Structure 1
Amino acid sequence: MAHIGTVKHIPKEVRYNFLQMAAPASYVAGLGRGASGFTTRSDIGPAREGPSAETIADAQAKRGEDVPDPDAFQDPDDERNLFAGTVYEADDEEADRIWDSVDERMDARRKARREAAEAAEEAKQRALNPKIQTQFADLKRSLSTLNDTDWDAIPEAGNLTGKRRKHNMRLEENQNGRTYVVSDTVIADAANRNILLGELDKAQQENGGFDTPANDGTMTDFISIGNARDKVLSLRLDQASKDATNGSSTSVDPRGYMTALNSQIVQTDAQIGDIKQARQLLQNLIQTNPKHAPGWIAAASLEVHAKKMVAARKIIAEGCEKCPKSEDVWFHAAELNTPENAKVILGKAVQHVPQSVKIWLKAASLETDTTAKKRVLRKALEFVPNSVRLWKETVNLEDDPEDARVILTRAVEVIPTSVELWLTLARLETPENAKQVLNSARKRIPTSHEIWIAAGRLAEQSPTAIGDIKVEDNSEQTRKLATQVDKLMVGAVGSLKKNQVLLSREQWLQEAEKCEQDGSPLTAQAIVKATIHQDVEEEDRKLVWLEDAERAAKGGFFEVARACYVVLLETFPTSPPVWRKAAEFEKAHGTPQAVQDILAKGVQHCPHAEVLWLMAAKEKWIGGDVPGAQDILAEAFKQNEDSESIFLAAAKLAAETGQLDAAVQILEKARVQANTDRIWMKSAVLQRQLGHLDAALEILEQAIKKFGTFDKLHMIRGQILESRKETAQARAAYAQGCRSCPKSISLWILAARLEEKAGITIKARSLLENARMKNPKNDHLWAESVKIEERAGSTQQAKSVLARAMQECPTSPILWSMAIFMEAPQQRKGRSVDALKKAGEHPAVILAVARLFWGERKIEKTRQWMGNAITADADWGDAWGWWLKFEKQHGEPERQEAVIERCVAAAPHHGPVWQAVSKDLANAGKNTREILELVAAQLQ
Structure 2
Amino acid sequence: MSYINPLKKKFLDQTPPPNYVAGLGRGAIGFTTRSDIGSARNVDGGVPGFGDRKQQQQQRSGNEDDENGDDSDNIGYTNYDEFNGDANDGFSDPNAIYDADDKEADDIWAELDRKMDSRRKTRREEKEREQMEMDRMSRPKIQQQLAEYKLGLAAVSLDEWMNLPDGGDISRKAVKKQREIYVPVPDSLIERARQENESYSVLQVGNSSGGINDGNLSSISGTTTTDLTQVGSARKTVLDLKLNQVSDSVSGQTCVDPKGYLTDLKSKKIATDTEIGDIKKARLLFKSVIQTNPKHAPGWIAAAKLEMLAGKLSQARKIISQGCQECPDNEEVWIENANLQTPDNAKAVLAQAVKLIPQSVKVWLYATNLEKDIRMKKKILRRALEFIPTSVKLWKEAIELEEPDDARIMLGRAVECVSDNVELWLALANLETYEKAREVLNRARQSIPTSSEIWIAAAQLEESAKKNENVSRVIKKAIKSLSTTNIVVMDREKWIGEAEKSEKVGYPITCQAIIFESIGMGVEEEDRKRVWCADAEELIQRGSIKTASAVYAYLLTVFPTKKSVWVKVAQLEKQYGSKESLEQTLKQAIKNCPHYEVLWLMYAKEKWLAGDVDQARSILTQAFESNPGSEEIWLAAVKIESEMNEIKVARGLLKRAIDMAATERIWMKSALLEREFGESKAENDILAEGLKAFPTSWKLWLMKAQLEERVNPRALDKIRDIYNSAVTKCPSSIPLWLEFVRFEKRANNQQKARTLLEKAKLRNPKNEEIYLEFVRFEKSVGNAKAAANWLSVGLQECPKSGLLWAEAIANEPKHGQKNKCVDALNKCNNDQYVLTQVAKIFWFDGKLDKAKSWFKRAITTFSDYGDAWAYYYLFLLRTGQSSSNTSKNLNESEMNELLKQCLEAEPHHGEQWTKVSKQRAPIRLFCHCKYRFTK
What pairs with 1:213-612 in structure 2 (closer than 5 Å)? 262=269, 268=275, 271-272=278-279, 274-276=281-283, 278-279=285-286, 281-283=288-290, 285-286=292-293, 290=295, 293-294=297-298, 296-297=300-301, 300=304, 304=308, 309-310=313-314, 312-398=316-402, 400-462=403-465, 481-500=467-486, 501-612=488-599
CA distance in 2, matches of 1:858, 1:298: 52
* Structure 1 residue identity aligned to 2:373: D
* Structure 1 residue identity aligned to 2:646: Q
Task: Report what 1:29 is aligned to.
Answer: none
Change (3 A) 1:426 1:848: closer
Is the 8 Å Cα contact of residues 809 and 817 (structure 2) preserved in structure 1?
A: yes
Change (3 A) 1:340 1:267: farther
Q: CA deviation at 1:597?
A: 1.3
Task: Report what 1:751 is aligned to.
Answer: 740
What pairs with 1:87-102 in structure 2 (closer than 5 Å)? none
CA distance in 1, matches of 2:413, 2:850: 65
CA distance in 2, matches of 1:524, 1:266: 67
Q: CA deviation at 1:755?
A: 2.5
CA distance in 2, matches of 1:742, 1:415: 84
CA distance in 1, matches of 2:679, 2:499: 62
CA distance in 1, matches of 2:933, 2:365: 75
CA distance in 1, matches of 2:395, 2:277: 50
Is the 8 Å Cα contact of residues 884 and 896 (structure 1) preserved in structure 2?
A: no
Task: Report what 1:917 is aligned to.
Answer: 916
CA distance in 1, matches of 2:729, 2:281: 91
* Structure 1 residue identity aligned to 2:437: A
Task: Report what 1:902 is aligned to.
Answer: 898
Task: Report what 1:763 is aligned to.
Answer: 752
CA distance in 2, matches of 1:722, 1:897: 43
- Matched residues, number: 669
Q: Verify: 1:777 aligned to 2:737, yes or no.
A: no
1:175-196, CA deviations, whole angstroms, 9 ceiling, x for partnerless residues? xxxxxxxxxxxxxxxxxxxxx9
Q: Which moved more, 1:603-612 or 1:645-654?
A: 645-654
- RMSD, matched Cα: 3.9
What pairs with 1:671-710 in structure 2 (closer than 5 Å)? 671-689=658-676, 691-710=678-697
* Structure 1 residue identity aligned to 2:540: A
Q: CA deviation at 1:939?
A: 5.1
CA distance in 1, matches of 2:332, 2:812: 76
Change (3 A) 1:594 1:545: same
Q: Secondary structure at the match of 1:268?
A: helix
Is the 8 Å Cα contact of residues 386 and 415 (structure 1) preserved in structure 2?
A: yes
CA distance in 2, matches of 1:676, 1:934: 32
CA distance in 1, matches of 2:786, 2:358: 96
Q: CA deviation at 1:896?
A: 4.9
CA distance in 1, matches of 2:611, 2:213: 116
Q: CA deviation at 1:482?
A: 3.9
Is the 8 Å Cα contact of residues 914 and 935 (structure 1) preserved in structure 2?
A: no
Q: Which moved more, 1:530-539 or 1:852-861?
A: 852-861
Task: Report what 1:185 is aligned to.
Answer: none
* Structure 2 residue identity aligned to 1:605: N
Counterpart pick for 2:622 among 600, 622, 635: 635
CA distance in 2, matches of 1:695, 1:616: 33
CA distance in 2, matches of 1:427, 1:566: 31
* Structure 2 residue identity aligned to 1:877: G
Q: Secondary structure at the match of 1:446?
A: coil
CA distance in 2, matches of 1:260, 1:310: 24
Q: CA deviation at 1:381?
A: 1.8
CA distance in 2, matches of 1:510, 1:267: 57
1:10-37, CA deviations, whole angstroms, 9 ceiling, x for partnerless residues? xxxxxxxxxxxxxxxxxxxxxxxxxxxx
Q: CA deviation at 1:577?
A: 1.2
Q: Verify: 1:740 aligned to 2:729, yes or no.
A: yes
What pairs with 1:728-877 in structure 2 (closer than 5 Å)? 728-792=717-781, 798=787, 801-802=790-791, 804-806=793-795, 808-809=797-798, 812-819=801-808, 842-845=831-834, 870=859, 873-877=862-866
1:770-821, CA deviations, whole angstroms, 9 ceiling, x for partnerless residues? 0011112323223323444444455565556555545544554444544556
Q: CA deviation at 1:273?
A: 6.0
Task: Report what 2:931 is aligned to.
Answer: 936
CA distance in 2, matches of 1:826, 1:720: 45
State the TM-score, normalizing by the size of structure 2: 0.64
What pairs with 1:168-207 in structure 2 (closer than 5 Å)? none
Q: Verify: 1:621 aligned to 2:608, yes or no.
A: yes
CA distance in 1, matches of 2:444, 2:356: 36
Q: Which moved more, 1:763-772 or 1:309-318?
A: 309-318
Is the 8 Å Cα contact of residues 870 and 926 (structure 2) preserved in structure 1?
A: no
CA distance in 2, matches of 1:854, 1:320: 67
Change (3 A) 1:418 1:825: closer
CA distance in 2, matches of 1:342, 1:855: 64
Q: Secondary structure at the match of 1:909?
A: coil
Is the 8 Å Cα contact of residues 338 and 345 (structure 2) preserved in structure 1?
A: yes
CA distance in 2, matches of 1:776, 1:796: 22
Is the 8 Å Cα contact of residues 286 and 302 (structure 2) preserved in structure 1?
A: no
Change (3 A) 1:640 1:902: same
Change (3 A) 1:330 1:777: same
1:417-451, CA deviations, whole angstroms, 9 ceiling, x for partnerless residues? 33222222222233443333333323333322222
* Structure 1 residue identity aligned to 2:622: E
State the TM-score, normalizing by the size of structure 1: 0.64
Change (3 A) 1:573 1:927: farther
1:238-283, CA deviations, whole angstroms, 9 ceiling, x for partnerless residues? xxxxxxxxxxxxxxxx99x999974768653662464156325513
* Structure 2 residue identity aligned to 1:495: S
* Structure 2 residue identity aligned to 1:730: I
Q: CA deviation at 1:693?
A: 4.4
CA distance in 1, matches of 2:844, 2:400: 64
* Structure 2 residue identity aligned to 1:899: M
Change (3 A) 1:680 1:314: same
| Runs of 5+ consecutive residues of structure 2 not aligned to the other structure | 1-11, 14-22, 27-211, 216-260, 882-887
| Runs of 5+ consecutive residues of structure 1 not aligned to the other structure | 1-126, 129-137, 142-195, 200-253, 465-480
CA distance in 1, matches of 2:846, 2:322: 75
Task: Report what 1:68 is aligned to.
Answer: none
Is the 8 Å Cα contact of residues 620 and 628 (structure 1) preserved in structure 2?
A: yes
1:211-236, CA deviations, whole angstroms, 9 ceiling, x for partnerless residues? xxxxxxxxxxxxxxxxxxxxxxxxxx
